[in-house]
């Protein structure tokens, strides 16, 4: 029997490395679908994967999780291609316009906060969010709501009696309760939309388990650790390349004292791959599964309890349902206007 795996944000970074590592498992019947915003970059990623795995089944799907119409169209295409979906990796995410506090950064380098600072970004990072054409906050739509809507649209291929399907989120150690406000789930009024969206994904995963486990659908959350990806480099766009080169020995040294410094996308994808091999019934719905790398370079996965609760997760789920109804109604009305015109 074939195993169908869809990965959002699969054209680079942890998403692409996850695809490579899945193909390296030599699983018979694995059907991999790269769901990406840019088809040009998706095609390049597919070519790279097929260069090392010529016999692999690798399909492409265009989806922009910040766009309601794109998510609905992508879900429609998935349902036409597949009668079931075994794994949905919710990996796409953005941190736009990061504002970096250079003074706090260098102060933190020589303090006891250095490990926490690098691992979570707390105290040194804020972001300036934007608004999508659908009127949603960009980070909220891309990182959370687009994925929520995708799950809702794909229920017919995710929920089947007699078998299990998996939702696996790429969260972050930057997911802080202090950044999240249930009265402002889109984070319109704050300066930490990335942290808010990642904390919200932790909450949503718990709510999804509450509602879907009896239908065979299970959700899990991962943290890749501190990884050097395009997103990481984008935080410090003004830093010259030589500075990154000088910082890398510092990062490697820090790894001797903390296992959260995975540094490479390959290491950061460890928990994503580990969860692929686990029976979902054995997993803790309130744990985040962290990728760790020892000082000697050995990768492993461990769970850590998340700072979440059922009441807040249920309240968030209901708010997302109401927002879903609103955007569907708005999309329907806009379609009617176009037809009438």
Give the residue numbers marked as catalytic. 194
| Strand (E) or helix (H) holding 17 | helix 13-23
DSSP 128: -
Strand segments, DSSP code E, in 101-256 are: 125-127, 165-170, 217-223
Contact yes or no for 13/89 (Cβ under 8 A): no
> Distances in Å between the alpha carbon of 329 and those of 38, 138, 146, 311, 324?
28, 20, 16, 28, 9
Strand 87-90 vs strand 57-62: parallel, antiparallel, or unpaired?
unpaired
Helix axes 146-153, 310-340, angle to 10 degrees: 80
DSSP assignment letter at 93: -
> Helix, strand, or coil here: 302?
strand
State how far the Cα of 271 lies from the Cα of 289, in Å rounded to an integer.
6
């Amino acid at each position: 029997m074939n195993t169908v795996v869809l990965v959002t944000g699969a054209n680079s970074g942890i998403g692409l490395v996850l695809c490579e590592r899945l193909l390296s498992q030599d699983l018979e019947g694995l059907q991999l679908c790269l769901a990406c915003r840019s088809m040009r970059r998706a095609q390049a990623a597919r070519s790279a994967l097929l260069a090392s795995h010529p016999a692999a089944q690798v399909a492409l799907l265009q989806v922009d999780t910040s766009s309601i119409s794109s998510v609905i169209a992508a879900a429609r295409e998935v349902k036409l291609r597949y009668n079931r979906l075994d794994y949905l990796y919710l990996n796409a995410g953005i941190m736009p316009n990061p504002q970096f506090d250079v003074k706090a950064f260098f102060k933190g380098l020589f303090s006891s906060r250095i490990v926490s600072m690098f691992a979570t970004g707390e105290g040194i990072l804020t972001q300036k969010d934007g608004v999508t054409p659908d009127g949603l906050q960009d980070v909220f739509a891309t990182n959370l709501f687009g994925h929520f809507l995708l799950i809702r649209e794909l229920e017919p291929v995710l929920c089947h009696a007699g078998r299990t399907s998996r939702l696996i989120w790429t969260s972050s150690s930057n997911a802080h309760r202090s950044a999240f406000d249930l009265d402002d789930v889109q984070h319109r009024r704050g300066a930490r939309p990335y942290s808010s969206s990642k904390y919200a994904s932790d909450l949503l995963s718990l709510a999804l388990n509450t509602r879907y486990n009896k239908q065979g659908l299970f959700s899990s959350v991962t943290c890749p650790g501190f990884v050097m990806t395009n997103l990481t480099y984008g935080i410090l766009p003004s830093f010259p390349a030589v500075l990154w080169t000088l910082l890398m020995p510092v990062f490697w040294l820090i790894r001797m004292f903390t296992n959260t410094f995975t540094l490479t996308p390959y290491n950061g994808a460890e928990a994503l791959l580990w969860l692929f091999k686990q029976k979902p019934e054995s997993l803790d719905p309130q744990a985040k599964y962290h990728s760790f790398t020892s000082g000697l370079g050995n990768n492993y996965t461990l769970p850590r309890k998340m700072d979440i609760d059922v009441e807040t997760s249920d309240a968030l789920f209901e708010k997302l349902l109401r927002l879903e109804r609103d955007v569907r109604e708005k999309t329907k009305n806009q379609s009617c206007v176009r037809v009438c015109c």
